[in-house]
Amino acid sequence: DGGITQSPKYLFRKEGQNVTLSCEQNLNHDAMYWYRQDPGQGLRLIYYSQIVNDFQKGDIAEGYSVSREKKESFPLTVTSAQKNPTAFYLCASSFTRDQPQHFGDGTRLSIL
Amino acid sequence: DQQVKQNSPSLSVQEGRISILNCDYTNSMFDYFLWYKKYPAEGPTFLISISSIKDKNEDGRFTVFLNKSAKHLSLHIVPSQPGDSAVYFCAASAWISGGGADGLTFGKGTHLIIQP
């Protein structure tokens, strides 16, 4: 079954620690994206990548970093510089911008 | 500054009737629009899209209408079913210089409640 897998579903972090969220897709999509959702808010774009070894900042990239070493994988690191990391993080992928983005089921990150 | 606005946080509709969800945008560069459905603690599921060269797109019970001059789009669900109860997000994208895929700009969502 093709799809996008995000792991873990729930993640807890101590203040001052970096944490990495996993996103893997087997849809053969070229583009991948990370969004953040806060309660009562829409999704906001953190980073996106059109092809391997290339990525661009989205609207709220500060305090986050990404890598795209493989087509299938686009991990997101939430660094200690992110002042308010508690949120629901969603990964998505698509063939091109003219095709719909497909989403994983998200990772909920909480600060202990 | 919100570029995509869904002004109704919630909407209640009787089962079998039509549900109409509205979305307004301010960025005239947006040329591709989508609707997603989302359940709590899950990722959004794509429903239907429309490009700016069209004013209507239909898929089963779902129809999206685009009024470019008013910068307004709407999603019609006919007939509404209990399983349609969810949060619906409107999203848009603009072609960036140099081409290629970019992210979507989302509205804050409308919680649709279908009453039996």
Q: Is B98's pLDDT higher than 70?
A: no
Q: How far is A30 from chain B (nearest CA, A)?
A: 9
Whether the Cβ atoms of residue B66 and residue B33 lie closer than 8 Å to each other: yes
Contact (CB<8Å) B103/A35:
yes
Interatomic CA distance for residues B57 and B22, integer angstroms: 15
More confident residue, B113 or A98: B113
Residue A39 near chain B (CB below 8 Å): no
What's the pLDDT at A30?
92
DSSP-derived 3-state class of residue B83: helix
Calculate the average pLDDT of chain A.
Answer: 92
The partner residue sitting opposite A103, judged by closest CB among B43, B107, B109, is B43
Q: Is A61's pLDDT higher than 60?
A: yes
CA-wise closest residue to B63 among A55, A109, B42, B55: B55
Residue type for position A2: G
Q: What is the Cβ-side half-sphere exposure of residue B37, based on CA atoms within 13 angstroms?
A: 12
Interatomic CA distance for residues A91 and A101, integer angstroms: 10
What's the pLDDT at B96?
57
**Residues B72-85: pLDDT tens digits?**
999 999 999 999 99
Residue A83 near chain B (CB below 8 Å): no
**B9 prior amide bond cis, ω within 30:** no
The partner residue sitting opposite A96, judged by closest CB among B91, B101, B103, is B101
| Burial class of residue B9 in the structure, from the number of CB atoms within 10 Å of its CB (0-12 exposed, 13-18 middle, 19+ buried) | exposed
Is the sign of the CA dihedral B67, B85, B88, B9 positive or negative?
positive
The partner residue sitting opposite A50, judged by closest CB among B101, B108, B109, is B101
Q: Is A84's pLDDT higher than 70?
A: yes
Q: How far is B92 from chain A (nearest CA, A)?
A: 11
Phi (first) and psi of residue A11, to 5 degrees:
-140, 135
pLDDT-derived band at A33 (thresholds 50, 70, 90) equals very high
Interatomic CA distance for residues B34 and B26, integer angstroms: 15
- Chain A residues with CB under 8 Å of B109 CB are 42
Mean pLDDT of A29-52: 92
What's the pLDDT at B101?
53
Q: Is B112's pLDDT higher than 90?
A: yes
Residue A56 near chain B (CB below 8 Å): yes
CA-wise closest residue to A31 among A4, A7, A12, A11: A4
